[in-house]
Every structure is written in structure tokens, then in C-alpha cells.
Chains A and B, each alone.
Chain A
């Protein structure tokens, strides 16, 4: 026995040891309605910050063979509003604005003139399911080059025919697998899948991959994050 004490001192010692644990009560702040929201926002913000640090611009998402593809008719169609916002293909252009040298309306023909990329990649939904799809289009980075996007700009914003909106950080926008996609499964994009032009970003979660694009804006600050982000989802959500 290394030492002796009496029951009174022992009780005091126990009380001191118990009081040392009081910082644990701080976790109770998460139960206070007015404090809970900002705390969770901060937690999600920290996760997004860490996600951005973990993102490696040169690291490619796994690509798959044709036999791994989810059949086209089983590729889910997810919308926040309508399957088909009835885009008028004849008059469609991509309106480019923001920190670019050549703003203006770009036709699908101008976009398709860029080098074509086709890739079989995994599309992961925030709900937890995933499919492997075949996507064809042009690199967003190639478009950013021809529109003369400011190299110091940090975000790309897109708007859609169904009033959906999204944003990408520049590292994701310039990633070699980030496509302005006009084909799925070697066929022109169907209306439900976002014709005439959608995003395909294998390094991001599904809700970032906006469909029925109409506008693209390059900017230095994050102006409108995204529809689902505004409901409470992660701003960065890189895979």
C-alpha cells in the first residue's frame, strides 16, 4: 500500500476528480436550440475545410470497364423539381459571365468543338446509393481556358433551366475528369438527364452535378453556393 488517507480526505479527493470532468458538460451546448444550429454549421464547415485539404487535384477517380456500367435505363433520374424543364434546344446557349476575358453566349457547337472526353465513372448520391455511368463531353477546364477565366478566380457558378443552381471550387472545376457533359452512354443527353448540357464531376457528390445548364459564372467569391447546400448540405462535398 503506497499511502494512507482518511475517509474525509478521500471524499474530497473524489469530488475534485469528479469536478475535473465538468468540461464534458460543454457538449450539452448541442442540445440548446439557439446554439445547436451555429455549432452544427461550424462542424460541417470544419468538415468542408478538411475535405478541401484532402482533395488532390491530380488524383483521378476510378474509371470502370463497359461491363461494369449500370444499364442506362436503371440510371436514376433525380430532380428537385421537374424531370424536363422543356429547354428549347434551337435557342439554347450557355451564358458565360464573371471574371472572364470573353463573356457571352456560347452555342453547343462551340462547346462540342473542344476535345471530347468519354469516361465510365461512379456517380455517388448523398442518399447513399451509387451507379456507374458513361459520360461524354468536354473538360470544363478547356472551356475555362477558351473563355479566358481569370486564373486567380476561385469558384465556378452554374444556373439551370429548372432554376437549380450550383457551385464548384476551382480545384474541382479544373480537375481533368470534370466534364461539361452532352452525352451519356454514347448518346445525346436525354432531357431527363439534363439535356443539352450538364455537369459530370466524379470527384464530387451527385447534387453538385447540375443538369440543364444555362449560365456559367466565374468569380472570386462564393456567391450562390447551391440549392441543396442552402437546405443544409455540405458546400464542398468532395468524394
Chain B
């Protein structure tokens, strides 16, 4: 279900193609601002992690992972915290704006993963990972895409909640408690970041595979020649 579709007549050849308005302005705005914010949050998060590259109590100090400074933002712990505590508000703002817009515009119907999408997940997995035949595209987002885009929103919300549990373990002691305590909250925050990065990796692979028209649609909103029925 695309929100809006038009027929475009090529003035030179007279050929008529279809175009679908896939990504409303608010979604595109949130996408790009959030992409920048996520990049900064991950980079500064790595620098923060470098200050105590472990989990749990201080003792015994185990350096779980020596993260290279080249893949970190902020230069030192204090600098990284400035980036992290600045961009977290941008990250939260775009998240709230996106979720609010999806709900009030009804646009979520296009992308929200629902029980009826469950049967369609496996055929898509078979197609992407085991070279199975491609199931016919019926909507703008296939069931696996819906699953990915819904999951990453859930993960983003959890990344914020686990972050608050670490940042304010006294004021939000109930949050830390829900996550199994302060130590677990820090571990969850880290694990959720990797889950989001796994999404980003898959997302970027798909962007490459799906070509120019698909890529441009996240800038202009319009996708030329959608591979699913429109109108």
C-alpha cells in the first residue's frame, strides 16, 4: 500500500512509467537526522566503552575488547560523553517524531510487522539467504522488511531505555531493575547497539542490491518503477 502514486509520461519517448510516493517528508527527515545521530552515538559510545572495556564490577578488571581509537568519536572519555549526551537528544527527538508521525498519519500500516506478515517471512529469508525464488511483491514492504524495520524501532527504544538506566541508575532505578540491575543494563545497552549495527549492515547491503531508484526515494520520497502494484 503506497500512500500515493502517479503515472509519469516521458516527454521525449512518450513512455509512461509509474512512480510511488513511498517516504513522506517527516520519515525522510527523521531517517537522515537519525542516521547522523546513530553514527555519533555508536562512535562516542565506543570511546566511552574504552574507559572501562568490560562489564560488571570493577574487580577483577577484565578488558573484554580493546576497541581501536580510530573507530571512536570524542578523543577522550569527557569528549565522548559530550557527544553522547548531546546527540542522544537528537536521537530521541527523531525517534519520537518518527513514531508519532507513523501513528498519526497511518503510514505505519505500510511498515509495521503484524501477525499476518508472519507466514511471508520464511519465503523471503529463503530468497535472500538460500537463493530461493523471489515471492511476488504485493506491497511496498515485504514481510521480512517489515520485520526488520519494526525490530529496529523496538531496538532503538530499548537502546534509549537501557541508556537511561545507566545514565540515571538512581532516578530510574526501576528501569535498571527491569533490566536485571545496573550491570546488566550496561551489557544490554552494548548488545542492543550491536543488534542495531547488524540491522544497519543488512540495510546497507539491501540498499546496494536494490539500485538507484530505491536509494533516491529516501531523498525525494518518490520511487520510480516500483516493483509492486501501485494505485
Contacts and interface: CB of A to CB of B under 8 A. Distances in A.
A4 B7 contact: yes
B9 A47 contact: no
Nearest to A203: B170
Kindly state the interface size class of chain A when it binds its partner: 35 or more
Kindly state the interface size class of chain B when it binds its partner: 35 or more
A222 interface: no
A32 interface: no
B77 A122 contact: no
A203 B36 CA distance: 32
A128 B183 CA distance: 10
Interface string A151-168: 000000000000000000
Given A27-B33, A46-B89, A4 B82 contact: no
A13 to B, nearest CB: 7
Given A5-B8, A17-B221, A46-B89, A24 B182 contact: no
A131 B183 CA distance: 11
Contacts of B4: 2
Contact of B59 (A70, A125, A128): A70
A2 B77 contact: no
**Chain A at the B interface: SS class:** mixed
A88 interface: no
B194 interface: no
B139 interface: no
Contacts of A8: 11
A234 B85 contact: yes
Contact of A130 (B5, B29, B58): B58
Given A7-B9, A20-B28, 18 more contacts: A1-B18, A2-B5, A5-B6, A5-B7, A10-B222, A17-B219, A18-B219, A18-B220, A20-B29, A40-B83, A55-B171, A59-B171, A62-B173, A76-B59, A122-B169, A129-B61, A130-B182, A239-B170
Interface of B: 4-12, 18-19, 25, 28-29, 32-33, 36, 40, 48-49, 51-52, 54, 57-59, 61, 77-79, 81-83, 85-90, 168-171, 173, 182-183, 186, 216, 219-222, 230-231
Interface of A: 1-8, 10, 13-15, 17-18, 20-21, 23-24, 27, 30, 39-44, 46-47, 51, 54-56, 59, 61-62, 70-71, 74, 76, 122, 124-131, 202-203, 228, 231-234, 238-239
25 contacts: A4-B6, A4-B7, A7-B8, A7-B9, A8-B11, A10-B8, A10-B222, A15-B220, A17-B221, A20-B25, A40-B79, A43-B82, A43-B85, A44-B85, A46-B86, A70-B57, A74-B59, A122-B182, A125-B52, A125-B58, A126-B77, A127-B77, A128-B49, A128-B52, A203-B170
